[in-house]
């Protein structure tokens, strides 16, 4: 209504700039002067009072952490073909568990199982340990639940406490600070303890690094001998792992939850999906990443869910690190910018029937999948999601395995799901009790 660049003032902070539309968002997300992160109270509180980790750091801290994280994870197979068998095992395990849980025809919620399955391969890279889905430790299960609670109860701008942090002293319960602080303390202790255990093991055994935490601890020791200042320390490591953990679980398992919700409501789309899997893969062979491009309709369904569910309706807030301008508007240093990705995904001029779930919009006249540059669920530019490749691979394999074996539907008299989901830091899929029927 008000154009692609709109300024708002929240509390006493610098203005918040909402950037909408494909052209404005593309320019903003590709300009390095907007690559900063805001310095709000809650963004610092979540990591011990200073901005640490990957998601909410910027300039040299973020550059060093991102560079090391990507390089190290790739060395251990992150996003590479060698991780496929691990992903495939987890997808098969998840499918078997869901099949067993629902074989009696009793309505069941499966979202927590999906969360654990999504985390499994990432946890192997981070921690070096592999757990069977459904057999994760109570502490790891609790960590997943705490992060889910934090995500669902917060918003991308941090809420009123970011604008008026003094209110935590006056109304700790009413502002939600008491619960937020308690959850942050528990989740931070979990990751600090994980790092401490790895440090003890490394000191005792001097073993070769086989996971991200060990490699980071080794990097800390290496940099101690260097005269230059270092952003590498154990606290930083704990918060980098926390950010990887949160980013790895929240968006991917929410996507899978939304896929199931949309297919339950749109049974015709689910039947076409079954037909394509049966025709291309069959029933005797498990789906693999090599099959991805042979399943255009599955790719179209995933793209349409990413577009319509808008799990990340905006980018994480950016900050201008110097005085600049955007489309003729003055953007001063420390202004916060938010990319309204939903405005692109729901643009009626481009998509036409943007409110309608129609995977066919990504299929051409020859039945092939068509990429669309207006779809940007992982963001753009240097600050786009660094786990995009793994997120796509995981979502594809998990959905393909589940749909190969199972048909999803609602119990009798179950109200129609609210496909808009539940808003928080990211949009959560609707809570559903489902029935999964074995197809063969």
Map out the domains of the chain as residue ranges.
5-438
* Whole-prediction pTM: 0.93
Confidence of residue 147 (pLDDT cuts 50, 70, 90): confident
Q: 216-251: b or e for each residue (b if 16 or more CB lie within 10 Å)? A: bbebeeeeeeeeeeeebeebbbbbbbbbbbbbbbbb
Q: What would the pLDDT profile of 187-243 be if each residue is shown by its tens digit?
A: 999 999 999 999 988 877 666 788 999 999 999 988 888 766 678 999 999 999 999
Is the pLDDT at 109 greater than 90, yes or no?
Answer: no
Question: What is the chain's mean pLDDT, rounded?
Answer: 91
Percent of the chain with pLDDT over 70: 99
Helix (H, G, I), strand (E, B) or coil at 299: helix
Is the pLDDT at 247 greater than 90, yes or no?
Answer: no
Confidence of residue 152 (pLDDT cuts 50, 70, 90): confident
Report the alpha-carbon distance of residue 435 to residue 417 in Å, rounded. Answer: 14
Confidence of residue 391 (pLDDT cuts 50, 70, 90): very high
Q: What average pLDDT does the segment 54-73 reach?
A: 94
Contact 414, 105 (CB under 8 A): no
Binding residue numbers: 385
Binding residue numbers for heme: 385
Is the pLDDT at 349 greater than 90, yes or no?
Answer: yes
Q: 45-84: b or e for each residue (b if 16 or more CB lie within 10 Å)? A: bbbbeebbbbbbbbeebbebbbebbeebbeebbbbeeebb
Q: What average pLDDT does the segment 68-82 reach?
A: 87
Is the pLDDT at 185 greater than 90, yes or no?
Answer: yes
Percent of the chain with pLDDT over 90: 65
- Tokens 């594809």 belong to which residue? 396
Q: Give the relative orientation of helices 84-102 and 111-127 as an angle to the nearest 10 degrees.
A: 150
pLDDT at site 251: 86
Is the pLDDT at 328 greater than 90, yes or no?
Answer: yes
Q: What would the pLDDT profile of 261-271 be if each residue is shown by its tens digit?
A: 999 999 999 99
Q: What average pLDDT does the segment 412-426 reach?
A: 85
Report the alpha-carbon distance of residue 401 to residue 88 in Å, rounded. Answer: 8
In this structure, of 59-68, 76-85, 109-118, the range with the lowest mean pLDDT score is: 76-85
Closest C-alpha to 433, from 304, 260, 272: 260
Q: Give the class (CATH, top level) of 5-438.
A: mainly alpha
Longest Cα separation, the chain:
68
Is the pLDDT at 70 greater than 70, yes or no?
Answer: yes
pLDDT at site 228: 63
pLDDT at site 143: 87
- Tokens 């999504």 belong to which residue? 118
Q: How far is CA 432 from CA 1, 67, 262, 436, in A?
A: 35, 39, 11, 12
Which helix or strand (DSSP H or E) is residue 205 part of? Answer: helix 177-205
- Tokens 């909408």 belong to which residue? 20
pLDDT at site 23: 97
What token pair was written down for 246?
A: 């949160």
Report the alpha-carbon distance of residue 255 to residue 250 in Å, rounded. Answer: 9
Report the alpha-carbon distance of residue 133 to residue 113 in Å, rounded. Answer: 7
Spell out where 345-411 has E strands.
Answer: 406-409
Closest C-alpha to 53, from 215, 180, 229, 234: 234
pLDDT at site 121: 87
């Amino acid at each position: 209504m008000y154009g692609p660049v709109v300024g708002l003032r929240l509390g006493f902070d610098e203005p918040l700039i909402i950037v909408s539309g494909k052209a404005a968002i593309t320019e903003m997300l590709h300009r390095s002067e907007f690559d900063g992160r805001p310095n709000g109270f809650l963004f610092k509180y979540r990591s011990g009072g200073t901005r640490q980790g990957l998601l909410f750091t910027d300039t040299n801290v973020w550059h060093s952490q991102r560079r090391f994280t990507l390089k190290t994870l790739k060395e251990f197979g992150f996003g590479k073909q060698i991780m496929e068998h691990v992903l495939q095992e987890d997808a098969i395990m998840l499918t078997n568990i869901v099949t067993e849980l629902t074989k009696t025809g009793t309505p069941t919620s499966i979202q927590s199982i999906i969360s654990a399955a999504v985390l499994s391969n990432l946890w192997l890279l981070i921690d070096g340990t592999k757990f069977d889905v459904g057999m994760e430790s109570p502490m790891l299960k609790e960590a997943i639940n705490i992060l889910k609670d934090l995500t669902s109860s917060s918003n991308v701008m941090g809420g009123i406490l970011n604008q008026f942090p003094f209110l935590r002293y006056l109304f700790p319960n009413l502002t939600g600070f008491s619960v937020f602080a308690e959850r942050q303390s528990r989740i931070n202790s979990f990751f600090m303890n994980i790092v401490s255990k790895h440090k003890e093991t490394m000191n005792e055994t001097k073993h070769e690094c086989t996971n991200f935490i060990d490699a980071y601890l080794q990097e800390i020791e290496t940099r101690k001998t260097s005269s230059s200042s270092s952003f590498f320390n154990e606290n930083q490591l704990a918060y980098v792992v926390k950010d990887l953990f949160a980013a790895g679980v929240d968006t991917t398992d929410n996507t899978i939850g939304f896929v199931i919700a949309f297919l339950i409501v749109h049974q015709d789309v689910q039947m076409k999906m079954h037909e394509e899997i049966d025709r291309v893969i069959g029933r005797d062979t498990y789906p693999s990443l090599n099959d991805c491009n042979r399943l255009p309709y599955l790719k179209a369904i995933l793209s349409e869910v990413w577009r319509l569910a808008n799990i990340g309706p905006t980018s994480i807030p950016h900050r201008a690190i110097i005085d600049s301008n955007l489309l003729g508007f003055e953007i001063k240093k420390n202004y916060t910018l938010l990319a309204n990705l939903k405005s692109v995904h729901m643009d009626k001029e481009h998509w036409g029937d943007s409110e309608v779930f129609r995977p066919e919009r990504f299929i051409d006249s020859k039945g092939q999948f068509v990429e669309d540059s207006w779809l940007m669920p992982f963001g753009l530019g240097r600050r786009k999601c660094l786990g995009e490749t793994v997120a796509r691979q995981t979502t594809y394999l998990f959905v393909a395995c589940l749909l190969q074996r199972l048909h999803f539907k609602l119990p009798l008299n179950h109200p129609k799901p609210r496909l808009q989901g539940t808003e928080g830091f990211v949009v959560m899929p609707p809570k559903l009790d489902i029935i999964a029927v074995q197809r063969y």
